[in-house]
Amino acid sequence: MSTFSKAFAARQAAAQLKTTIRFCGAPFRRVPYGVDYPDGLPLCRDCGVEHGQLHVPTCCVERCPVCTKQAIGCDCADDDEVMA
Ligand SMILES: [Zn+2]
Ligand SMILES: [Zn+2]
């Protein structure tokens, strides 16, 4: 396994621990891959997580649980939650 994929596997594992974002101080459960994604692929096409897992931060497929739009393209999460 390359250094890159090891690092990415660690990011995928870390992403599973962050189950919510905060919006106006209230927690919202993040949307796991598979619930609402019509691609039908076994793995997320961007970050590679499996159905039922949470996306890696900055994944362009993840949806925002507040507005249901692309998570990286919306401003819902409180500022301290912004994923750079
Ligand atoms: Zn993803
Ligand atoms: Zn949003």
Note the pLDDT tens digit of each residue in 12-55.
999 999 999 999 999 999 999 996 787 789 999 999 999 999 99
pLDDT of residue 81 exceeding 60 = no
Place of tokens 């994944």: 59
Please give the Cα distance from 26 to 46 (Å, whole number): 28
Distance 35 CA to ligand 1 centre (A): 12
Distance 29 CA to ligand 2 centre (A): 12
Distance 5 CA to ligand 2 centre (A): 29
Q: How confident is the model at residue 80 (pLDDT cuts 50, 70, 90)?
A: low
Distance 66 CA to ligand 1 centre (A): 17
Contact (Cβ atoms closer than 8 angstroms) between residue 20 and residue 29: yes
pLDDT of residue 83 exceeding 70 = no
Please give the Cα distance from 55 to 11 (Å, whole number): 10
Contact (Cβ atoms closer than 8 angstroms) between residue 49 and residue 41: no
**Helix count and strand count (H, E) for the chain:** 1, 2
Contact (Cβ atoms closer than 8 angstroms) between residue 62 and residue 53: no
Please give the Cα distance from 38 to 67 (Å, whole number): 18
